[in-house]
Amino acid sequence: MTFKQKLIVGLVTALVWFLHKSVRWQYIGSGIHPAKTPCIFSVWHNRLLMMPVLFKGWAGPGIISDHSDGELIAAVFNNFGMQASRGSSSKGGARALLKVIRQAQAGNSPGITPDGPRGPIYITKPGAAQIALKAGLPVVPACYATNRQWRLNSWDKFYVPKPFAKGVVVVGDAIYAQADESLESFTNRVQLAMVSNQEQADHYFQ
C-alpha cells in the first residue's frame, strides 16, 4: 500500500470514529446483533461506511471487492477489528464465496453488500441468499440513516452522515429460507426485506 493509500485509510478511519461519536444514534427493529446471533448481515453498498462501529464486537467477515478501492475499504475495516474476505460477483467471487460459507458454518456472521460492488443500486444479487442457504443461517437486513447527510457523486450515491446529526439504525427481522425454496425465490424475499428496511430508515426523520 502506498503512502497516499495509507493516508486515505487513516483519514477515513478517523472520520468514521468522529461520526460515530458526534451523531446521536438510536437503534430500532429486531435488536439482532451479528456478534451475538450468527447470520448473514446484509447492508446496501452506500450504507457501508458506519457499519464497523455501529455494531460493537462484530468481527465480520465482510465481503470486500477485489477492485482497487476494495483494498482501502478492507484496511479501514481491519482498523476496527473486522475481517475482510476479498472477492465480488465480478472478480474472485467463487473463492470469496467458499471462504465466507466456511466462516458462516463456523458460527461467524458475514457481512455482505448485495448490490455491490458496482450496482445496480438497491438490486439484490443472489450472493447473500446463496451463503445463507449453504450455511443454514438467516439473512438479516440492516440500514442506517440520518436527518442530515452528504451524498457522493458515485454510482450508489454513497451516504455520509453529517457531524452532530440525529441517526437511526434499523435492523430487520431474520429471513429464513423455506423448505426446498429456490435461490431465486429466497433472493426475491431478501430484496423486498432490504427495500422495506431502507425505507423505514430513510423515512424515520421525515
Say if strands 111-112 and 24-29 run parallel, antiparallel, or are unpaired.
Answer: unpaired
Per-residue pLDDT of the chain (206 residues; tens, 9 = 90+): 889 989 999 999 999 999 999 999 999 999 999 999 999 999 999 999 999 999 999 988 887 766 667 788 888 989 999 887 765 545 555 666 787 888 888 889 999 999 988 899 999 999 899 999 999 999 999 999 999 999 999 999 999 999 999 999 999 999 999 999 999 999 999 999 999 999 999 999 98
* Per-residue pLDDT, 141: 98
Instruction: Answer whether 32's CB lies under 8 Å from 139's CB.
Output: no
Q: What is the predicted pLDDT for the residue at 104?
A: 87
Closest listed residue to residue 167, CA positions, set 25, 49, 29: 25
What pLDDT, on the 0 to 100 scale, is given for residue 68?
62
Cα 32–Cα 182–Cα 39 angle in degrees, nearest 5: 20
Q: Where are the domains of the chain?
A: 3-202
Q: How far lies 137's CA from each of 99, 132, 176, 191, in Å?
A: 15, 5, 7, 17
d(CA 8, CA 40): 29
pLDDT of residue 63: 76
Q: Are 119 and 125 in contact (CB under 8 A)?
A: no
pTM above 0.85, yes or no: yes
